[in-house]
Amino acid sequence: MVARVCAWALRPTVVCGGGTGRRAALRWLSPSWGGAVNSRFSGRFRSSDMNDALRKDERNKIMSRGLPKQKPIEGVKQVLVIASGKGGVGKSTTAVNVALALAANDLTKAVGLLDADVYGPSIPKMMNLKGSAEVTSKNLMRPLVNYGIACMSMGFLVEETAPIVWRGLMVMSAIQKLLRQVNWQQLDYLVIDMPPGTGDVQLSVSQNIPIAGAVIVSTPQDIALLDARKGAEMFRKVNVPVLGLVQNMSVFQCPKCNHETHIFGTDGVRSLADDLGLDVLGDIPLHLNIRETSDSGKPVVVSQPESNMARAYLKLAAEIVRRLPVSPT
Ligand code: ADP
């Protein structure tokens, strides 16, 4: 017998992953704990006779004691996170099309898509999925499937029109559920669409599960680049390998005269990548079809697979796979 998930599912009391781990995670995320660490450090190292390396080492030791233990998601071989510093730069569009492209490039691979953008879940719309997730007898949520991709999103757990205004524990509880209480069966790749920014959710995901690689999406605009840099630096700090950057919407080609315009600047993402010692994994044009197909729930990789836009995503997905560590068999 199956039940359906409803709003009760988001009570902060229901968190899996073990008491110690959970307490550790909350402690790690709690501002007061962070404050305690900082004050301990400022007191301890005020004398300047200790060099920087020792101080860093000591700090790392203390910090690592409070970190939650990373545990793989059951049945998932590799997790790929798609992140951005800023909202609205095309992160979800990239996540959706990359997931579809990973599956299209290699038909033997099973791909899943997890919408961790709890504040603004857009995967249900982009993947043309509606409804709520079923719960199995083992109390696991069953992903909804379209275009061959298993999907899970906050959007399947709350009403589309409900304002998502949770704070702290509610969000963490939701993330824990999305990470631990989904029956993915067997996946080669799980693509996670992260919320924008470098907040608790990003830290929590990075600390709780092993991530094979992070991909940062940005437009070439200064303001987006500034946040993309922060995103890349955050992942590096928590030892998540950053595979590279994606330059989105750099060039607009007029559908009538083919004239090309660099609306958000030309090569800002490339310069940032150089600066960070990273590569640009792909360049996705600004195109009406990408926007329209996303909005209508027929992403360009499935609805116009021969188009230049779809090819750009297929190439990006191949580049990502090339940079992932060899998958465990
Ligand atoms: P984010 O996840 O970063 O907030 P979205 O993926 O939701 O951003 O994209 C924001 C808007 O921009 C959406 O309407 C989407 O269809 C559109 N968009 C994203 N990438 C492109 C692109 N390359 N060309 C045209 N429109 C795009």
* 27-47 confidence digits (pLDDT tens): 322 333 333 333 333 444 444
> Which pLDDT score is estimated for 131?
87
Ligand 1, CB within 6 Å, residue ranges: 84, 87-93, 122, 248-249, 284, 286-287, 290-291, 294-295
Mean pLDDT (whole number) for 137-151: 96
**Residue of the CA atom closest to atom 27 of ligand 1:** 291
Is residue 164 within 8 A of residue 120, CB to CB? The reply is yes
pTM: 0.81
Q: Give dist(CA 129, CA 314) in Å, integer.
A: 22
Going by pLDDT thresholds of 50, 70 and 90, the confidence category of residue 326 is confident
Q: Which of 294, 296, 298 to mutate to test the pocket of ligand 1 (most atoms within 8 A of CB)?
A: 294
- Residue to mutate, 227, 284, 291, 303, ligand 1, most ligand atoms under 8 Å from C-beta: 291
Rg for the chain (alpha carbons), in Å?
20
C-alpha distances in Å from residue 235, one per residue of 131, 187, 206, 232, 244: 33, 23, 8, 5, 11
Average pLDDT of 293-298?
Answer: 97
- Tell me the pLDDT tens digit for each residue of 2-20: 555 544 344 433 333 333 3
Residue 178 pLDDT class (50, 70, 90 cuts): very high
pLDDT value of position 243: 97
Query: What span, in angstroms and rounded, lies between the C-alpha atoms of 204 and 67?
Result: 10
Lowest pLDDT segment from 155-159, 182-186, 298-302: 155-159
Domains within the chain, CATH numbers bracketed? 19-65 (no CATH), 76-323 (3.40.50.300)
Question: Buried b / exposed e across 236-274, counting CB within 10 Å, b at 16+?
Answer: eeeebebbbbbbbbbbbeeeeeeeeeeebbeebbbebbe
Q: Quote the CA–CA distance of 309 and 287 in Å, as a whole number.
A: 8
Which whole number is the average pLDDT over 283-307?
96
The pLDDT value given to residue 256: 81
pLDDT at 18: 33
Task: Quote the ligand 1 centre to 102 CA distance (angstroms).
Answer: 19
The residue type of 291 is: R
